[in-house]
Every structure is written in C-alpha cells, then in structure tokens.
C-alpha cells in the first residue's frame, strides 16, 4: 500500500488514529505497526494534524518497550520527511523522557532516534530542542564503574557496562553533530553556558581509553573554539596533547579558572584512571592560580556540585596521612583533591599527594608575617 501509494491510505490512517485514542485498545501494537508503515507515505504524512500527534504522544506512556520503539521510528520518519517540524515539536519532550528509562535497549534506540533528529533538523526551526538536548546528553559522557549493572550518573538509568560504552560513544557523536549546526551568531545563553561547561570534559576525554571517543572530541573542540572565537586555542586544540591544551586553556582564559576547576573536580569520579589523573593535575594547576577570594567564590558557587562529585573515601575511621589545609580556609575543591590521595590508582594518588604538598608549601610561604604591636598591617593571605 505504501509503495503503490494507494488512494485509501489516508482513510485507513484516520481509522487507526481513531482506534488508538482509547488507551486500553487491545490491538494497539498491531495498529501502530500498520500506522508506522503508512506514515512513510508522503501523502499520509501531510494529513497528520496536532490531534493525531497527541494521540501518538500518549502512547509513549505505555510500559511496553516494543510499543515505545515503534513510536521512536515514527519520530524518525517525521524527521526524514523534512516538513514536519510542528509535529516533531510535540513529540520531542516524549523522546527526551525516554533517555531516563530503565531499559538499556530502549535508551540506545532513543539515542539513535536523537541522532537522526540532529541530522535532519535545522537550527532555525528546532533551536530550543537542540539546546535542551545538549543538557540531556551530559550524563551519558561518563561510563559505569563496574562490569555488572550500574546507574548512569545523576539520572538513575540502569545499564550494563558494555551498553554504557556504546551509549557514551553515541552521546559524544550526537553532541559533535549538534555543535556542527551551531554558528557563532546563535551561541547565546543557555547554550553558550553549556558549551563552556563541557570544555574541560572534552579536553580531558582526549585521553579516553575508547579511541573513538577521543577522535570525536578533538574536532568537536576545534569547532567549539571556532564558535567561541578562540582562534589561538583552536590551533592548540587541533594539534597539541591534553596537557598542553589544558595549560593553554588556563593561560588564555584565566577569568574562567574557577569554572574550569568545577569541571575538573566533577571528573574525579570517572572510572578511568587516565581521566582522573588529568583532572587532578588540572585542578592542582588551577588552585595554584586562584586568590583566596576567588577560591572562596568558587566554593560558594559550586560547593553543592563538588561535594556530590567526591569519590568514596576510605571510611569513617580512616584518617588522612598527608598534609592538610586548615578547614577554615580550605575550599571544597581542595578537600576533593585531598580525598584523591586515596585513589585506587597509584599514579593518581601519588599526583594528588604531590599536588597537595605543593599547595601546603605555597600556603606556608604566603602566611602572614608577624609584626610589632605598633603596626596593624599584615600581609594578605592569598590561598
């Protein structure tokens, strides 16, 4: 019927929509299979109105994964038609909500549908959705910690480790494709905020053990630099290694140091030792450049997120064995760095320990100098 474009395709579609209005319709799956095929016909697609789309949207609430997967196919069909932006806008919230389901196969199908949407949507007609998608993708950039079943960070999605790895790669691919649609003149809040918020994540994932992820991050960083107007950093992103990039990033954008610090500390929980090592190194570099006031401002702004990012410590009875900074003057970032001395990877724990000794020595060197009782001035502490 679809291939031959039969005249009765439209009436049959109307009958199916009428039947699907009843949420207890027993043959809903068969009806959706038939309807999905009919929607491939352009003559049927043009008669899809808001009422029909709302009927389809209601079936996203169905608990049967097979039914939701059919609806994701419908979304892809709408996107491929190229002239159904209005209908897609009504279904997009339902698609994003599928990212949080407990079925890993359904989450994978959802990301594939999102990739199709990104490939076919234009920024002019879907700016709000594409911006929201950048926030939805963020939790999928990190993998699970154990080979059994784990939860995707901050979202409660139950996944197998091998599924998580595929999802990670797909999420990076979608984000890279999405940024390709962004031009400098449309980079406004909140998209600009999110793009800046993922800079350090992309840089440090250049050492990701998944080579495909690392390969995606570099061109994504280059395009990020282009839309931000960072011409010098773009050349660095294209050629240098992660250490040179991080150093150049801090030198070129010193006003965003506390922001970069927050991003680094959130990576302390990464299951990959190489990611944690780069994050610890960069956090140490940043803390050494911050004034005391800046460190306190960063703590006030980000303390909630940083505390959630701290890795599990050695237990309530364990005591730190290395140097410590007085709690009264200790930013949350320094506390997170202190806890990284107990990292299971020896290279990470050793780097954290060395960094902490450097910070302690720097603090002692900049401690206030005792003065006579006749002089009320003292040197201002900076760390």
The pLDDT tens digits of the residues spanning 139-161 come to 999 875 433 344 444 444 444 55
258 and 235 within one domain: no
Residue 228 lies in a domain: yes
Residue 374 lies in a domain: no
Contact 366, 378 (CB under 8 A): no
Residue 150 lies in a domain: no
Residue 7 lies in a domain: yes
The residue whose two tokens read 């994003």 is 96
293 and 203 within one domain: no
Instruction: Report phi then psi at 149, rounded to 5.
Output: -110, 135
341 and 206 within one domain: no
335 and 203 within one domain: no
Residue 342 lies in a domain: yes
10 and 23 within one domain: yes
Mean of all residue pLDDT scores within the chain: 81
Residue 373 lies in a domain: no
Is residue 364 predicted with pLDDT exceeding 90? no
95 and 46 within one domain: yes
Residue 370 lies in a domain: no
Last residue of a domain, which of 252, 276, 298?
A: 252
Q: Which range of residues forms the domain containing residue 176?
A: 1-137+157-181
- The model's pLDDT over 194-234, given as tens digits with 9 standing for 90+, comes to 999 999 999 999 999 999 999 999 999 999 999 999 999 99
238 and 94 within one domain: no
289 and 349 within one domain: yes
Residue 335, pLDDT score: 78
- How many percent of the chain have pLDDT more than 90? 55
With a CB cutoff of 8 Å and minimum separation 6, the contacts of 238 are 218, 222
37 and 100 within one domain: yes
* 382 vs 369: which has the higher pLDDT: 369
121 and 2 within one domain: yes
Q: Which CATH number is 119's domain given?
A: 1.25.10.10
Of 73-77, 136-140, 164-168, the one with minimum mean pLDDT is 164-168
307 and 221 within one domain: no
pTM (2 d.p.): 0.79
Q: How many domains does the chain have?
A: 3
Residue 143 lies in a domain: no
- How many percent of the chain have pLDDT more than 70? 77
CA distances from 46 to 20, 83, 118, 290, 310 (A): 19, 9, 22, 59, 52
Segment of 286-295, 302-311, 327-336 carrying the highest mean pLDDT: 286-295
Question: How many helices (H) and strands (E) in the chain?
Answer: 19, 2
232 and 244 within one domain: yes
């Amino acid at each position: 019927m679809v291939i031959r474009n039969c005249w009765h395709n439209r009436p049959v579609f109307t009958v199916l929509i009428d039947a699907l209005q009843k949420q207890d319709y027993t043959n809903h799956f068969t009806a959706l299979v038939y309807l999905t095929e009919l929607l491939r016909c352009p003559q049927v697609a043009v008669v899809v109105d808001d009422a029909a789309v709302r009927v389809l949207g209601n079936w996203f609430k169905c608990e049967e994964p097979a039914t939701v997967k059919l609806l994701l196919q419908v979304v892809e069909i709408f996107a491929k038609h190229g002239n159904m932006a209005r209908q897609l806008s009504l279904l997009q919230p339902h698609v994003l909500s599928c990212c949080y389901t407990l079925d890993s196969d359904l989450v994978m199908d959802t990301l594939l549908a999102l990739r199709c949407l990104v490939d076919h949507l234009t920024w002019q007609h879907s700016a709000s959705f594409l911006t929201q998608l950048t926030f939805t993708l963020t939790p999928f950039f990190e993998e699970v910690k154990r080979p059994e079943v784990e939860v995707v960070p901050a979202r409660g999605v139950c996944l197998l480790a091998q599924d998580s790895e595929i999802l990670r790669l797909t999420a990076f691919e979608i984000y890279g494709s999405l940024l390709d649609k962004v031009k400098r003149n449309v980079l406004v809040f909140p998209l600009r905020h999110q793009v800046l918020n993922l800079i350090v994540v992309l840089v440090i994932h250049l050492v990701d053990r998944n080579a495909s992820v690392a390969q995606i991050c570099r061109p994504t960083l280059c395009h990020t630099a282009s839309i931000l107007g960072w011409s010098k950093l773009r050349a660095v992103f294209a050629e240098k290694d992660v250490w040179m990039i991080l150093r150049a990033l801090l030198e070129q954008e010193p006003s965003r140091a506390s922001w970069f610090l927050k991003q680094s500390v959130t990576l302390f929980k990464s299951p990959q030792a190489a990611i944690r090592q780069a994050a610890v190194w960069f956090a140490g570099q940043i803390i050494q450049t911050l004034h005391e006031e800046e460190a306190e401002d960063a703590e006030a702004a980000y303390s909630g997120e940083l505390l959630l990012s701290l890795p599990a410590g050695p237990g309530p009875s364990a005591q730190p064995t290395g140097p410590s900074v007085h709690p009264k003057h200790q930013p949350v970032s320094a506390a997170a760095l202190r806890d990284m001395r107990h990292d299971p990877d020896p290279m990470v724990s050793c780097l954290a320990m060395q960094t902490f000794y450097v910070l302690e020595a720097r603090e002692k060197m900049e401690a206030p100098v005792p003065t006579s009782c006749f002089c009320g001035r003292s040197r201002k502490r900076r760390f």
